[in-house]
Amino acid sequence: MSKLSILIPARNEMFLAKTVENILENIEEDTEIIVGLDGQFADPPIKDDPRVTIVYYGESIGQRKMTNQLCKLSKSKYVAKTDAHCAFDKGFDRKMLEAFEEIPNSENVTMVSTMRNLHAFDWKCKKCGHSIYQGRTPEKCEKCGGEMYRDVKWIGKQSPQSNFYRFDKTMHFQYWKDFEKRPEGKGDLCESLSLQGSFFMLTRKKYWELDICEENFGSWGQQGVEVAMKTWMSGGRVIVNKRTWYAHMFRTQGGDFGFPYPQSGKQVSKAREYSRELFQRDGWKGAKIKFNDVLRKFAPVPDWGIQPKSNKGIIYYTDNQLKLKIAKRVQNQLKSIGLPITSASLKPMDFGHNVYINMKRGYITMFKQILAALENSESEIVYFCEHDVLYHPSHFDFTPPDKNTWYYNVNVWKLNAETGHAVRTDDCRQVSGICVYRETAIKHYKERIRRIESWIKACEFEDEILGEDLNRYIRKIGFEPGTHNRPERVDNSKSEVWSSKYPNVDIRHGNNLTSTRWKPEQFRNQKFTKGWQETDELSYWGKMTFDDK
């Protein structure tokens, strides 16, 4: 019994015999070929070979139905469908089978290889030898007027090569070259959102389970979208195997060099609409995963506007008393990052997922805002973002290595909003620079708030507590988790620091909840002035002021 059956549905294919010959030359495993002649005999004929089975239908039944008929004849574990005008890498079948063995849960994988363009032939003049690249049949040689003939080349061109594909909102196939630049596009075995459709491979069992060539689509069109979406939405994976390749001949010029199956605009539109009904509108009964969740896995996807589902998120808190000029600049900067935002504010606002806290500005209020944002976020890792800090995108590249440690970005400058003058030190640990696992932060802020409220309740004259007394107690507890060992600390958590590639900018505008020291001598403890620097122009940000002029 063969390991792999290669299915070739064919109608009026002048290079069918050459495709079969090329496959036979390059297979290295126990692989068979099953060819379907859909309403027309092969011309030139296919050479006899025990590894080749030929099925003939006197009247055309269509590409999808023919592929299904061929698959019924297979007894192999794997089947691969290919077009009848393709060339293949040496040992491509072995390289594909080896990759299936390597991938976990490979029974749920559909695999393709790198796709090259096939240089099938040149037109060559019998008289003068002048040649031109494959295309429509020329009437005569443009040089001497002599007769032209096809000079078969059958070369898989090394450039261009394609690995990744997508579709637009009409489900129209698109190449996705830019995906190569993303981290997910690196390596030998990568995932792709969609397929081109001229070659793909999966288990025979999965082929039938997913109805992989569903005849309701019509004879032709949407093949790659159908195969990819049924694979992804059933809980499987589409994998590109860059260790091998096939080359496909593209026939886009019409005339005697067009498609073997009729493809009217009406038929194409019907197939795309059926894709939209089946996948976009969640009409496919075999789906275990929603269409938008597949898109989100590959987000951002051009044309779709869906953001990635990330394990990272932003919590944002504000007292809604900030100058609008600063607030909008900070909010727009955070929106550009692309991470999900959960905001907690003292007035309702349209910024991310908003939580409204009906309290007056103050330390306890800020803690409760932070806790509310944490509890309403769905992210595993959170970045604390304050309303008056500009965050550089590199800030969000950091991932905390330990789930129980607080991490502070110390690459931060304090900017005088009126003058544009900025200062910094080496180890400035601020709440606004925190990155931490959300569950760790929730546990801490719940305990922080409990302690403060217990202290208030324990006071004999609760309604006579001076604000400064409460603030003094809160300052003993400390604002930055994991940064001191005083007895009043909330817990025994630890903290570490990191430095982003470019700095964040803490805008000091005169209405900050904490004060600013602009000279080293203003610090009681000089250890906090280590690495003191001053500037009027910041790396990346340049010169900035936020005065009212």
Helices (H), 428-520: 438-458, 467-477
pLDDT exceeds cutoff 90 at 504: yes
* Furthest-apart CA atoms within the chain: distance in Å: 112
pLDDT at 56: 96
* Percent with pLDDT over 70 in the chain: 94
* Distance (Å, whole) CA 131 – CA 141: 8
pLDDT exceeds cutoff 70 at 264: no
pLDDT at 448: 95
Mean pLDDT of 71-79: 97
* Distance (Å, whole) CA 257 – CA 136: 5
Q: Residue 142 in contact with residue 124, Cβ under 8 Å? A: no
In the structure encoding, which two tokens stand for residue 180, read together? 């190569």
Contacts of 174 (CB under 8 A, 6+ apart): 165, 166, 167, 168, 302
Mean pLDDT of 246-272: 71
Terminal alpha carbon distance of the chain: 83
pLDDT at 269: 84
Confidence of residue 517 (pLDDT cuts 50, 70, 90): confident
Q: Residue 312 in contact with residue 393, Cβ under 8 Å? A: no
pLDDT exceeds cutoff 70 at 254: no
Confidence of residue 4 (pLDDT cuts 50, 70, 90): very high
pLDDT at 259: 58
Instruction: Determine if residue 244 is left, alpha or beta; phi over 0 gives left, psi from -120 to 50 gives alpha, anything else beta.
Output: beta
* Percent with pLDDT over 90 in the chain: 71
* Distance (Å, whole) CA 129 – CA 131: 6
pLDDT exceeds cutoff 90 at 527: no
Averaged confidence pLDDT in the chain: 90
pLDDT exceeds cutoff 60 at 463: no
For residue 6, which of 207, 237, 296 has the smallest C-alpha distance?
207
For residue 92, which of 245, 198, 247, 196 has the smallest C-alpha distance?
245
pLDDT at 232: 97
Fold for domain 312-535?
Spore Coat Polysaccharide Biosynthesis Protein SpsA; Chain A (3.90.550)
* Distance (Å, whole) CA 183 – CA 308: 14
Sign of the dihedral defined by the CA atoms of residues 270, 271, 276, 281, in that order: positive
pLDDT at 466: 53
pLDDT at 262: 60
* Distance (Å, whole) CA 218 – CA 267: 8
Question: Cα-flanking dihedrals φ and ψ of residue 483, to 5°?
Answer: -110, -5
β-sheet bridge partners, residue 382: 313, 436
pLDDT exceeds cutoff 80 at 545: yes
| pLDDT, tens only, 185-242 | 999 999 999 999 999 999 999 999 999 999 988 777 789 999 999 999 999 999 999 9
| pLDDT, tens only, 395-443 | 999 999 999 999 999 999 999 988 999 999 888 899 999 999 999 999 9
| pLDDT, tens only, 287-300 | 999 998 899 889 88
For residue 363, which of 469, 487, 440 has the smallest C-alpha distance?
469
| pLDDT, tens only, 82-116 | 999 999 999 999 999 999 999 989 999 999 999 99
Instruction: Determine if residue 282 is left, alpha or beta; phi over 0 gives left, psi from -120 to 50 gives alpha, anything else beta.
Output: left
In the structure encoding, which two tokens stand for residue 186, read together? 């690196």
- Give Cα 222 to chain centroid, integer Å: 22
Confidence of residue 257 (pLDDT cuts 50, 70, 90): low
For residue 278, which of 265, 291, 264 has the smallest C-alpha distance?
291
Contacts of 82 (CB under 8 A, 6+ apart): 6, 7, 8, 19, 23, 198, 199, 246
pLDDT at 512: 66
What count of other Cβ atoms lies within 10 Å of the Cβ of residue 4? 23
* Within this chain, domains 4-118+188-292 and 312-535 share the same CATH topology: yes
- What is the pTM assigned to this prediction? 0.61
C-alpha dihedral over 502, 508, 511, 517, to 10 degrees? 120
* Distance (Å, whole) CA 47 – CA 28: 19
pLDDT exceeds cutoff 80 at 310: no
pLDDT exceeds cutoff 80 at 386: yes
What are the sequence ranges of the domains in the chain?
4-118+188-292, 312-535
Mean pLDDT of 127-137: 90
Confidence of residue 529 (pLDDT cuts 50, 70, 90): confident
Mean pLDDT of 133-139: 87
Q: Among 26-40, 251-265, 275-289, which stretch is predicted with the lowest mean pLDDT?
A: 251-265
* Distance (Å, whole) CA 428 – CA 411: 8
| pLDDT, tens only, 339-363 | 999 999 999 999 999 999 999 998 9
What count of other Cβ atoms lies within 10 Å of the Cβ of residue 302? 11
Residues 4-118+188-292, CATH architecture: Alpha-Beta Complex (3.90)
Q: Residue 100 in contact with residue 112, Cβ under 8 Å? A: no
pLDDT at 404: 94
pLDDT exceeds cutoff 70 at 252: no
3-state secondary structure 266-335: HHHHHHHHHHHHHHHCCCCCCCCCCHHHHHHHHCCCCCCCCCCCCCEEEEEEECCCCCHHHHHHHHHHHH
